[in-house]
Amino acid sequence: MPLDAETIAVSTDRAAHEWRRGRAVLLQSAEGSYLALAAETLSEAALAQALALAGAAAGAEAALALTAQRGAVLHILPNGHDTLLLPLAELPVPAPERASLIRDLADASRDLAAPLRGPYQRRRGAPPAAAAAAIKLAKVAYLLPAALLIPLGDAVMPDLLVRVQAEAVVAYDQAAAESLKPVSQARLPVADAEDARLYAFRAADGGPEHFALVIGRPDPGQPVLARLHSECFTGDLLGSLRCDCGEQLRGAVRTIREAGGGVLLYMAQEGRGIGLVNKLRAYQLQDEGFDTVEANLRIGYAADERWFLPAARMLQLLGFSSVRLLTNNPEKVDGLAAAGIDVAERVPHKFPANSHNEAYLATKKKRSGHYL
């Protein structure tokens, strides 16, 4: 029986918050049930309790789910899948120290200061669907994308344990985007565009809102000048010189106002979708000499974790089906078009580099194909 949108949103959101608290959840899939814990928040007490609940036999089959990107850093041979499993029983440390090692295996900040003694051996064959769902759940929680899976078999779990279906986690992004609705709006004069209104959009999962700043009175019958801007706390608010986000945000408002109107979508997709904490982890790695793409891959994420259905949904709810897109990113053009929005034109949107972000911008041009 297909899961409804509310079940998908609520169960996944609850499980993600349990993981942020360092607690286990019951992850159920067609292949079986697992006690699942986030590697980043794993404690010795939580690991011991989970293994005791599952039983000795299940504990022997426990495995750490990692992304293929993180596995490459640990010198684990690829298996042709996005996810791999590292057997817990084969980790070369005494049982009381396993939680600490699991956290280290997930955390790229440990790689340089205290190199891990790989290579480690992955479990052969395709990982279960639960492993991919666990990685996705960690991303929903904005944690490092790694999780411990303990198969349960016939073990009976406490009723208070939060339960989530693997298929619900996998369907989470789609359901959240499709459930977006406008919840509030107000006139909002801003420094570079006094004739503006701000719209707030909320999904059924109760997560962070996305916003749309509509400048002037754009005609829904014509391609609207639009900018998709991912929130950037460090650049937009603090004026960070490591990126060009603040300049892009303010420049977009000016450009749209000068053009006579349009819309700026302010998306809750910090750090190209990995969250602020993980962005700071990537910054640490960049300070060690890795570029922005390498840093994301090293912590287990893709170079860009964003997707564009939420933006398309917002544009449609505002009455726009065609845009002139202010961007230098070809993936935004392709992603928005794939989500059902006609991109009539790409409008260049770039700003001069400074000594702090010139390498970052060069990497976006060379490795991500940005028109810079």
Four-residue CA torsion sign, 161, 162, 165, 170: negative
Report whether 222 contacts 262 (CB < 8 A).
Answer: no
Give the Å distances, CA to CA, from 70 to 15, 105, 296: 23, 9, 10
Q: Which of 327, 358, 356, 341 is nearest to 251 (CA)?
A: 327
H helices present in 55-163, as ranges: 56-60, 68-73, 98-106, 110-113, 129-140
d(CA 95, CA 20): 23
Q: Which of 173, 306, 334, 367 is catalytic?
A: 306
Residue type, 23: R
d(CA 239, CA 223): 31
Residue type, 290: F
Scan for tokens 């057997």, then name that residue.
87
Q: Is the peptide bond before 119 cis (omega within 30 degrees of 0)?
A: yes
H helices present in 122-244, as ranges: 129-140, 166-170, 172-178
- Is 287 marked active-site? no
- Is 82 marked active-site? no
Q: Which of 149, 307, 143, 115 is nearest to 228 (CA)?
A: 307
Report whether 300 contacts 144 (CB < 8 A).
Answer: yes
Residue type, 154: D
Q: Which of 304, 324, 342, 367 is catalytic?
A: 304
Residues annotated as part of the active site: 304, 306
